[in-house]
Amino acid sequence: MAGILYLVPNTLDFGTVEPLPDLQASLPLGVIRQAAQLTHWVAESAKTTRAFLKRVDAVAPLACPLQQIVIVELPRPQKGQQAGAAPADLSALLAPALQGHDLGLISEAGLPAVADPGALLVAAAHAQRLQVISLPGPSSLLLALAASGLNGQSFAFVGYLPTDAAQRGTRLRELEALSRRHQQTQLMIETPYRNQALLAALLAQLQAATRLSVASGLTLASAFTRTDSVAGWKARPAALPNDVPTVFSFLAA
């Protein structure tokens, strides 16, 4: 009998300098216990997965010593490869499940395969007729959307914006027009240390009445969410922590 591919959520405190919160503050006990039973993993990062499993072990003892747990990293996309393009054959990563072992898929933070690598492995698992179970846990995108007060009935995650200033401005104006036409919330993220640069670009390109929401450090003690019009943000400027994961969203008037 084939094993199951479990999509295991990680906490959102990756890379934080704050004291790590209790694991059970972010993950249900049932998820922690399931993670403790898995001896085979596919991960975005083996290092952060070992750190995660150490936290799991403090709550629910691992099924075997950490040194015996098999962790294989997802292949990195080739430079210049478009998102969603088919990588090398992933069947080898699913070999443990095909041999009868339950297999965990985990990213560095949040839900695997959502705004993170892993979707192609899930697609490969379905192609192999493997059972896929997504375990409940934190998603920064949904937590930010829920706390924003923006339209939660129609929304889109657009990933990262272009780094080139002109291209980024064009993209923001396109997204704002789309948001206005469909009353659709647009969500985006930025790489570390570029939070303030993205906020400045949003304030420079969006219309005054567009509502802009910033959710930073979700699930951490320092977490905050602020939603205001672009005009309100300009009237009451705020400095963002550059080294804390942040989700930006807006809804055009």
What is the mean pLDDT of the segment spanning 49-74?
96
Confidence check: pLDDT of 83 > 70? no
Q: Is the pLDDT score of 51 beyond 60?
A: yes
Indicate if the alpha-carbon torsion angle 67, 70, 74, 76 is positive or negative: positive
Strand partners, 7: 105, 134
Residue 123 burial by Cβ neighbours in a 10 Å radius (0-12, 13-18, 19+): middle
Check if the beta carbon of residue 210 is closer than 8 Å to that of residue 199: no
Residue 65 vs residue 242, higher pLDDT: 65
Domain residues of the chain, as ranges?
A: 4-134, 140-251
CATH number of 140-251: 3.30.950.10
Spatial contact of 202 and 172, defined as CB atoms under 8 Å apart = yes
**What CATH architecture does domain 4-134 belong to?**
3-Layer(aba) Sandwich (3.40)
Q: Which stretch, 19-28, 30-39, 239-248, has highest mean pLDDT?
A: 30-39
Cα distances (angstroms) measured from residue 63 to each of 32, 60, 68, 240, 242: 12, 9, 10, 42, 38
Residue range 178-232, pLDDT digits in tens: 999 999 999 999 987 899 999 999 999 999 999 999 999 999 888 999 999 999 9
pLDDT, tens digit, for every residue of 113-155? 998 889 999 999 999 999 999 999 999 999 999 999 999 999 9
Q: What is the 3-state secondary structure (H, E, C) of the chain?
A: CCCEEEECCECCCCCCCCCCCCHHHCCCHHHHHHHHHCCEEEECCHHHHHHHHHHHHHHCCCCCCHHHCEEEECCCCCCCCCCCCCCCCCHHHHHHHHCCCCEEEECCCECCCCCCCCHHHHHHHHHCCCEEEECCCCCHHHHHHHHHCCCCCCEEECCCCCCCHHHHHHHHHHHHHHHHHHCCEEEEECCCCCHHHHHHHHHHHCCCCCEEEEEECCCCCCCEEEEEEHHHHHHCCCCCCCCCCEEEEEECC
**Distance of alpha carbon 135 from the chain centroid:** 14
**pTM value surpassing 0.85:** yes
